[in-house]
Structure 1
Amino acid sequence: MNPVIRAQLKEFAKANSITADAQERQFEIYSIFSILAGLLGESIDAYDVHLSGDEFGVDGIAVIIQGEAVKNKHEAEEKLSAINNPSIEFIFFQSKTSTSYDYGDISKFFDAVSAFFDGELKGESPAIDDLMGAMEAIYERGVGKRNPKLSCYYITTGNYEKPARIEKLRNSFKSDLDEKNIFDNGNISVEFVGARELQQWYRAATSAVEVEIDFPRNVVMPTNSHVDEAYVGYIDARNLLKLCSLKDQNGSVIGVNKAVFFDNIRDYDAKSKINAGIKSGVRSGGGAEFVFRNNGITVVSKNIDRTGDKFRLEDFQIVNGCQTSNVIFDLVYGDDSGCQNGDISLAESIQVPFRLIGSKNDDFVSSIIVGTNRQNPVRDDQFWALRPFMKSFEEYCRGLDKEEAIYFERRDNQYRNQDVERTRVMQPSVLMKAVAACLLFQPQRAARDYRGILSEYENSIFLDDHDVRIYHAVAYLYYRLEFLWRNQRISNEYKTFRYYILSGIGLRISGNNNILSMKKAKIASIAESIIALCNDEDALKSAVEHIVSVVEARLSEMNVVTQERIRDTIRSESFSGMFRDRLMASEIA
């Protein structure tokens, strides 16, 4: 294996708690991560996209709706019902540690992709069946203004030299896909990835973004205790594109770098009347009037190094201006140009209002994000993650000893470029689901209705006077279970019952009592008991086995066998109530 890939793989395996896995499996997850996070700028867990079985011809499948991966029909339906005209993408991965691009293996990969959409991959594995259910839900409900995008990545540790036989195979495969008429016109991508690309994309996914721009027309903004330095003015589009362009290993622009945007571009429609009108105006009259008609860009950077009119930015985000950036990108590179050659003279003629803020204060940065995006939809969990309690929770969790530390990500990608174990990073939505199951005893609602739970219990959870230790205990329990799954110390089949396991442990330790209404000393004692269970692997595995046995026994009595029926059944209120009664009865016995 390429020595650089080997070194990156070792680092990745350690950070993601998969060191016990075979190298081939590590490489599969590593390559998926490098493409999703480094190339595409997606905040999606590669471990969840990876297929852990021996599925025919494919190692990973991502079904992405509006930037979130869905794993089954229920999740797809829930997401589709909440969004009009969502962006949808199917991504397929096949990874080989060898350096060769084998014609037979590539043919199998292409056959697997076709079979997925034709329904012929049904029964290959429960995970495949679930993903096909998500695909079916997408096409059953309609896909809005545009069909889904399709991307396929065949990955090795070699270098792809475009052999004629394989190029012919690729072109034939793309033609077959095109003839299905179920994908967005011009948005079918079939890529062969090698060592150079993987190295670059992995570095992009794990390193702070850094770029130098010219910003001569700037004015220093007023001082503020939360701001190191700040400037306002305008820049030409050539420099804006330095901030938001994604480049290949040769320095050629290949697309928009979604990783630098707080809110990745999802709803952008190049052919909408507004965007088409902006482009038409610029193309017919030049870019001189753009600066007067546009609200501009806001960039927040952790570090700013200024030398004259040159500004080197490190670890920055474009917190407002996604649409503007995309419009300008299309103007300069052309809507369908493939990004080969940009119109630099046009880029220099367009001026864009620009605000640059240097701050390391996460709370202040969050307030800027909310303030500059009030006209845009912002997720509920992004708002409640800004509660005062959440800051205390974050500080407590990351300040613990290394073994029990949890990194609560109050702001998207907050820990992306920091040297922390990735499995210990917890998003607000994940914490909400875990709390709903473990403290509120609502396993049937945790996965599908955590927003409803948040609304119902907003005056009962995450309150300023609550003890952070009980919430940390729940987060740590979630992490420990994930660690055991990733290292194959408990069966992956139990993942279906994840929230029942969390709920069962909460019920057993609390004695089926309302935890958050207890006296503070008792809550602290329960938190300590959960932590103690987490740190005793044999005891934790035994607890998991017992809880799962209660769930499976009732499912067997009900003659519920298929994964789809199991998922439907365990999401019902009646099954959850039965589970609670039976579990507590088994504790008494």
Structure 2
Amino acid sequence: MSANDRVLINQMVEEWRNSRTVPLSFDAAFERFACEHALHGFGLSEEEVEAGVIGGSDDGGLDGVYVFLGNRLLHEDSDILHDSSAASNVESGTQLTLWLVQAKTSATFSEVALDKVASTCSTLLDLSAEESALKVLYADDLIARFRLFKDALQRLLKRHPTVLIKFSYVTRGEANEVHPKVQAKAKLLEAQFSNAFAVSTGEVEFLGPAELWKRASTLPSYTLELPYMESITHGTSHVALVALGDYIDFLSDDSGTIKSHIFDWNVRDYQGNVEVNREITASLLNPDAPEFWWLNNGITIVCSQATSIGKRLSLSDVQIVNGLQTSYTLHETLRERYSTEPSDDVFSRLVQVRILVTADQAARDAVIRATNRQTSVPVASLRATDDIQRQIESYYLEHEWFYDRRKNFYRNQGKTTDRIVSIPLLAQSVMAMALGRPDDARARPSSLLKSDADYRRVFSEKTELPVYLWLSKAQRQVDEFLQTRPEPISRSQYTNLHFHLAMLGATDLVGRVFNRPDFLNNSAREDVFPLPAKLESLWNSLLEQFENFQKERGWGPDKAAKSGEFVTYLTTNLGYGSLRQK
């Protein structure tokens, strides 16, 4: 079977790379494939996987670096890094994970690879290391990913997080035939990770074709069974009382991790150690508390079909649209006890679950809105269900593009990766090209729409739908241009400047700077964008201005790219004029 697994994995990687408008090399495609499936349980989007890839030289033996708090991917603009109240609301003991991936197309696992990772981590995990010294040894992107982890750790110290440092070593070799010397080096690396901090634990895993095939061929299940104690049925929908033990089973995958993908349509992320969640925890831990379902508003599930047989509901296309805080708090508070003491009395207590059956997406959206209007959710948090979002999705579908307002919805359907556009990516494209703020697009990848004012500007009903599609196409063209230049660019250059190049392309079409989407109406109608020769000229000018600006200010590339001052400097010096950035 091992030879067949290798053939199947090679075929999957080839099909994935060839489905792209600009195919990657097999090695680059394998790196992304390995990162995606090493982190299979997190349900990362294509853009989230890509953001953690470390490209080019000086990668320290690492092809991917990701940081998670609980089950959530952290970004450089995540609240906990900038808002002390957000950090203080993180539940005590929450796990902070640094996940490292190395992917090689070789047919073996080597000691040298583990030695290189050990050396890299020894240096980059040193909290006293000077960044100027690190820059001599390692790529900017690699340093930035470790900085994100160290910053998060230091911000969360008062919350006493647990720390997991995990290394996934991926090759086309057999994971069950790793040489004893390599296994011994893996144990040493685990010990090094465990000793890095007082609260850290280290793990090393070997992934070969068999493991990759198993993960790659397993889509997240949206069809689940839910046992119940009692239920009321009206039509095809139900209100059920479910034992807490059964509900924890319902939420957990085979490893005991919560199934985050069934919360994709919820309007809010887990809020951590906020008052309402502390009250839920207190009631769970108090054996004398009233019945749990008396004190809790319960869970709302929407699904396309529900079949009840012998007090078990089989639910299709499951999404939990209200009750995320309750679900996560239950899971966080009781999961370990449930694995060791499943007969504890607490697990026979009940939670109320509403199961609403409808295949009508508009009806589902109405349920999401209605159930969440009853709590203090900011308007911008409901963006995925707004009319404008559904209109954009419909318009994209008409043109065989896919607007992923429901995270990974089209990816799980196997749609062409290059034509899937997420809400965050479209927002960044609008901000960079239509509003003239590539600095914000670069600086705020995950927080761009937290301001209601920014959301209304980015997703305005005054903006014509063809402009949104044009912006997505234009950003793809810029990214493809940068990926196919004869002279490869560094990962840091791409991360810092691809939105700036997109802005210059749009500005050049219009002939001057602007900050209103309607300036792009004609370009969208005619479906035009600067040709590769023009993009090459703009790119060279951008690099020259970027270098000059850094020298004049004495700033590093990250700070310069996130600066509105640089945007004004750039457009003024290139003769397009200037606008106030904020």
TM tier relative to shorter chain: 0.7 to 0.9
Who is 1:40 aligned against? 42
1:479 maps to which of 462, 476, 479: 476
Name the CA distance, whole Å, in 2 between partners of 1:396 and 1:552: 36
- C-alpha separation between the residues in 1 aligned to 2:151 and 2:503? 29
How far apart are residue 59 of structure 1 and its match? 1.3
> Structure 2 vs 1, CA of residues 289 and 76 (structure 1 numbering), >3 Å: closer, same or farther?
closer
Asked if the contact 1:211–1:242 (Cα under 8 Å) also holds between the matched residues in 2, the reply is no
The amino acid that maps onto 1:189 is E
Whole-Å Cα distance in 2 between the matches of residues 357 and 114 of structure 1?
A: 52
**C-alpha deviation, 1:216, in angstroms:** 6.1
Match of 1:547 among 538, 541, 558: 538
User: Partners of 1:121 and 1:523 in 2: how far apart?
Assistant: 43
- Residue 532 of structure 1: aligned partner: 528
The answer to whether the 8 A contact 2:231-2:240 is kept is yes
Unaligned runs of 5+ in 1: 224-228, 248-252, 534-538
2: CA distance, partners of 1:379 / 1:60: 34
Normalization by structure 2: what TM-score?
0.80
Does the 8 A contact of 2:190 with 2:204 survive in 1?
yes
Residue 61 of structure 1 pairs with residue 65 of structure 2: yes
Q: Does 568-577 or 301-310 show the bigger shift? A: 301-310
Shift of 1:441: 1.5
Cα distance, 1:30 vs. partner? 0.8
Answer yes or no: is the 8 Å Cα contact 1:28–1:96 preserved in 2. Answer: yes
Report the Cα distance in structure 1 between the residues aligned to 2:513 and 2:109, rounded to whole angstroms.
Answer: 59
Find out whether 1:424 has 2:442 as its counterpart: no
Kept after mapping to 2: 8 A contact 1:92/1:113: no
Change (3 A) 1:310 1:139: closer
Q: Which residue pairs with 2:580 in the alignment?
A: none
1:250 alignment partner in structure 2? none
Cα shift at 1:395: 0.7
Structure 1 position 571 matched with structure 2 position 566: no
Structure 2 residue identity aligned to 1:566? P
Residue 301 of structure 1 corresponds to which residue in structure 2?
303
- 1:199 is matched with 213
In 2, Cα distance between equivalents of 1:97 and 1:344: 47
Give the aligned partner of residue 223 of structure 2: 210
1:322-341 mapped onto 2 (5 Å cutoff)? 322-329=324-331, 333-334=335-336
Tell me what 1:10 maps to. 14
1:104 aligns with 2:120: no
The CA distance in 2 between the partners of 1:239 and 1:470, in whole Å, is 48
Q: Which of 218, 239, 243 is the aligned partner of 1:232?
A: 239
Once residues 413 and 153 of structure 1 are traced to their aligned partners in structure 2, the CA distance between those partners, rounded to angstroms, is 23
The alpha-carbon deviation at position 372 of structure 1 amounts to: 3.7
Bigger mean CA deviation after superposition, 546-555 or 487-496: 487-496
Q: Which amino acid aligns with 1:129?
A: I
Separation in 1 of the partners of 2:322 and 2:385?
Answer: 18
Question: In structure 2, how many angstroms separate the alpha carbons of the residues matched to 1:342 and 1:446?
Answer: 48
Partner SS, residue 551 of structure 2? coil
1:156 match: 171
Matches within 5 A, 1:12-411: 12-14=16-18, 19-22=23-26, 24-36=27-39, 38-43=40-45, 45-54=48-57, 55-64=59-68, 67-70=72-75, 79=82, 83-85=86-88, 86=90, 88-118=96-126, 119=129, 122=135, 123-138=137-152, 141=155, 143-147=157-161, 148-157=163-172, 158-160=174-176, 165-181=181-197, 185=199, 187-204=201-218, 206-215=219-228, 217-221=230-234, 229-247=236-254, 253-262=255-264, 266-268=270-272, 274=279, 277-282=282-287, 289-307=291-309, 309-329=311-331, 333-334=335-336, 343=342, 349-373=348-372, 382-400=381-399, 402=400, 405=401, 407-411=402-406
CA gap of 1:554–1:325, structure 2 versus 1, over 3 A, is: closer
1:34 shift after superposition: 1.4
Shift of 1:374: 5.6
The structure-2 alpha-carbon separation of the partners of 1:428 and 1:159, relative to structure 1 and needing over 3 Å to count, comes to same
- Post-superposition shift, 1:124? 1.7
Partner of 2:441: 446
Question: Conserved in 2, the CA contact under 8 Å of 1:76 and 1:138?
Answer: no
Instruction: State the identity as a percent.
Output: 16
Please say if 1:504 is aligned against 2:504. yes
Task: State the alpha-carbon separation in 2 of the partners of residues 330 and 462 from structure 1.
Answer: 36
Q: Secondary structure at the match of 1:51?
A: coil
Question: Helix, strand or coil: the match of 2:385?
Answer: coil
Whether the 8 Å CA contact 2:63–2:102 is kept in 1: the answer is yes
The gaps in structure 2 that reach 5 residues or longer are 578-582
The answer (yes or no) to whether the contact 1:40–1:258 under 8 Å persists in 2 is: yes
Residues in 2 aligned to 1:477 and 1:295: alpha-carbon distance in whole angstroms:
45
Distance in 1 of aligned mates of 2:454 and 2:325: 36
Q: Do the aligned partners of 1:210 and 1:313 also contact (CA within 8 Å) in 2?
A: yes
CA distance in structure 2 between the aligned counterparts of 1:276 and 1:492, rounded to whole angstroms: 50
**1:477 offset after TM fit, Å?**
0.9
State whether residues 242 and 350 of structure 2, in contact with CA within 8 Å, keep that contact through their aligned partners in structure 1: yes
For the residues of structure 1 that align with 2:223 and 2:108, how far apart are their CA atoms? 34
Q: Residues 434 and 474 of structure 1 are in contact (CA less than 8 Å); yes or no, is this contact kept in structure 2?
A: yes
| Alpha-carbon separation, structure 2, partners of 1:76 and 1:328 | 24
C-alpha separation between the residues in 2 aligned to 1:345 and 1:76? Answer: 37
Q: C-alpha offsets along residues 59-94 of structure 1, whole Å, 9 cap, x if unaligned?
A: 1111346834436xx779865568324564321111
Match of 1:413 among 408, 413, 433: 408
Read off the aligned partner of 1:191 and give its amino acid letter.
Answer: E
Contact 1:332 1:344 in 2 (8 A): no
Provide closer, same or farther for how the CA distance between residues 483 and 553 of structure 1 changes in structure 2, counting only shifts above 3 A.
closer
Residue 65 and residue 577 in structure 1: after superposition, are their counterparts in 2 closer, same or farther (change >3 A)?
farther
Range moving further from structure 2, 422-431 or 554-563: 554-563
Deviation at 1:393, TM superposition (A): 1.8
- Quick one: distance in 1 between partners of 2:22 and 2:368? 35
CA distance 1:15–1:365, shift in 2 (3 Å) = farther
Could you tell me whether the CA contact under 8 Å between 2:298 and 2:323 is conserved in 1?
yes
Are residues 109 and 567 of structure 1, via their aligned partners in 2, closer, same or farther at CA, if it must alter by over 3 Å?
Answer: closer
> Secondary structure of the residue that 1:532 maps to in structure 2?
coil
Structure 2 match to 1:226:
none
